[in-house]
Each structure stands twice: as structure tokens, then as C-alpha cells.
């Protein structure tokens, strides 16, 4: 086994992170995994002893942050979800930052795993088949496209709801029914899969629309919307396919490191 130069520190309790660190260790990298989502005295000691050249952060933004003086200026940081405020000190220090959730191939891989994970959630909660069912999908970004493709391949009919003329045009060209995303109360029947990460959805008090929310916070329901038929499903790749998600992450890290 070839040992590859550099020390990799993986931070996080998500199984995708631990599995990814294992995969890279097996490939010859010098790897250490910190089982935590926050900065701590233990992490401080690890940083001093390991002197990592690469730090992979949790999928969700970690609690607290690593003091800049604990990081070598030549270290490369790989954050997941992180606000500009959280990243500001690293940017100001001139540290290289490569967010893995912006790596294009990984995002598409993650979108496909999310779509397949939704299938498992749907089967488990509905106890119904997909063939012959009608699904409305809000948004036609990467997750929306993958979800539509998976559902239609299993015989479902799909209607795409979007505001963007480009997304509506692409959806129509792909063979899906389309509908302008409503600005008021949504009046559709059946099943809605949301992939839009904003509070855009109003449903009537007597609505029986079944809503599966695959988008990140804050969820799609506005504050006055009933949630009896609403469930949110986050982190589906890590929940259902941790090994596949970790493999995709390891490959993304290597691509980013090689460019």
C-alpha cells in the first residue's frame, strides 16, 4: 500500500464522515477521525499533535470553530454546510477553502442518492406502489431532476412545479407535465415532493395533500400551514446509503485535491 503525503483530519459524527475516513485510510492516506461536531480540548490536542494538512468538516456546520492559530496556513479546509460568517476568519487568514458540497460531480451523486433514499421513505410510510401514482415535484434543480427521473422510470406520472421559465422549459422538454409554482395557496391533490429550500408553501386548512420535504432548512411550509400530512426527510444519503455516500465524498475530496 502506498502512503500518500499529508495528514487528513476528519471531523464529525455523521456515518458518512467516519466511513469516508476509513475508505481513505485503506487507500494509503494518513487519516485520523475525530468523533465530534464541536471544537473541544480533545480536538485542540489532535490539531497540535497531527498538524493536519487537510481538514474535512462535518456535513452540517460544526458547533463553534477552530481558532485560526491552530491551523497551518498551508492546510486545506473542506467544509460542508457553512455560513460566510463561520468561514470569514479562515478567508481572512488566507487559508485555502474547498467546500465539498459545491463539487459538481459530488452534488449530482448526492442528488441521485437522495432520490433513491426518497423511494425508501415513500415505500415505508405509504405502503403503496409508485407505478401509476401521480407526483408533483416542487423545484427542478439537481434533486428535483433526479427524483423525477427515478419516479418516472418506475411508472409514475410527474408534474414539475417551478417559477423559472428555464426550469419549466427543461422539464417540459424532458417529457414532464409542468405547472407554474403558485404564489398563493397550492390547490393540487395527491403527493407533493418539495426540493425548494424556502418557506413558499401554503395549503388550505382542509387539504389532504401529502407532502414529503427533501430540501434543507427551513422547510417549505409557511408558519400558518397545517402539517398533519407533512414530513421532512433530511440527510437521506447518509441515512440509507452511508457507504455509497462516503465513497462519493472520498472521490470528491481526491478530485478537489488533484486540481
In order of 135, 143, 199, 213, the CA distances from 217 in angstroms are 22, 15, 9, 10
pLDDT the model gives residue 160:
98
Q: In what order do the strands lie in the sheet with 177-180?
A: 177-180, 157-162, 134-138, 191-194, 210-213, 230-232
Tens digits of residue pLDDT in 194-205: 999 999 998 877
- Domain coordinates in residue numbering, the chain: 4-102, 110-238
Q: Looking at domain 110-238, which of 2.60.120.260, 1.10.3720.10, 3.40.50.620, 3.40.50.720 is its CATH number?
A: 3.40.50.720
Residue range 126-166, pLDDT digits in tens: 999 999 999 999 999 999 999 999 999 999 999 999 999 99
- Assess whether the region 4-102 and the region 110-238 belong to the same CATH fold: yes
Is the distance from CB of 10 to CB of 17 less than 8 angstroms? yes
Mean pLDDT of the chain: 93
Q: Is 242 left (phi over 0), alpha (psi -120 to 50) or beta?
A: alpha
Q: What is the pTM of this model?
A: 0.89
Enter the C-alpha cell of residue 114: 437522495
Domain 4-102 has CATH 3.40.50.2300: yes
pLDDT digits (tens, 9 = 90+) for 161-188: 999 999 999 999 999 999 999 887 888 8
Q: Report the DSSP beta bridge partners of residue 232.
A: 213
DSSP secondary structure letters along 114-140: HHHHHHHHHHHHH---STT-EEEEE--
Amino acid at each position: 500500500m502506498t502512503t500518500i503525503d499529508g495528514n487528513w483530519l476528519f471531523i464529525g459524527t455523521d456515518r458518512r464522515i467516519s466511513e469516508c475516513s476509513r475508505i481513505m485510510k485503506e487507500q494509503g492516506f494518513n487519516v485520523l477521525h475525530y468523533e465530534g461536531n464541536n471544537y473541544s480540548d480533545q480536538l485542540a490536542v489532535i490539531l497540535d499533535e497531527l498538524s493536519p494538512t487537510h481538514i474535512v468538516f462535518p456535513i452540517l456546520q460544526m458547533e463553534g470553530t477552530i481558532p485560526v492559530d491552530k491551523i497551518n496556513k498551508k492546510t486545506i479546509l473542506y467544509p460542508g454546510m457553512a455560513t460566510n460568517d463561520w468561514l470569514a476568519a479562515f478567508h481572512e487568514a488566507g487559508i485555502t477553502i474547498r467546500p465539498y458540497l459545491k463539487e459538481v460531480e459530488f452534488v449530482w451523486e448526492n442528488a441521485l442518492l437522495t432520490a433513491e433514499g426518497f423511494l425508501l421513505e415513500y415505500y415505508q410510510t405509504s405502503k403503496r406502489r409508485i407505478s401509476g401514482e401521480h407526483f408533483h415535484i416542487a423545484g427542478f434543480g439537481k434533486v428535483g431532476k433526479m427524483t423525477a427521473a427515478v419516479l418516472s422510470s418506475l411508472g409514475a406520472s410527474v408534474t414539475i412545479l417551478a417559477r423559472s421559465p428555464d426550469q419549466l422549459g427543461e422539464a417540459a422538454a424532458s417529457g414532464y407535465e409542468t405547472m407554474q409554482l403558485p404564489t398563493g395557496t397550492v390547490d393540487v391533490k395527491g403527493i407533493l415532493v418539495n426540493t425548494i429550500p424556502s418557506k413558499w408553501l401554503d395549503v388550505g386548512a382542509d387539504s389532504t395533500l401529502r407532502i414529503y420535504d427533501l430540501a434543507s432548512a427551513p422547510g417549505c411550509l409557511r408558519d400558518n400551514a397545517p402539517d398533519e400530512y407533512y414530513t421532512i426527510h433530511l440527510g437521506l444519503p447518509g441515512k440509507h446509503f452511508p457507504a455509497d455516500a462516503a465513497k462519493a465524498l472520498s472521490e470528491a475530496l481526491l478530485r478537489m485535491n488533484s486540481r
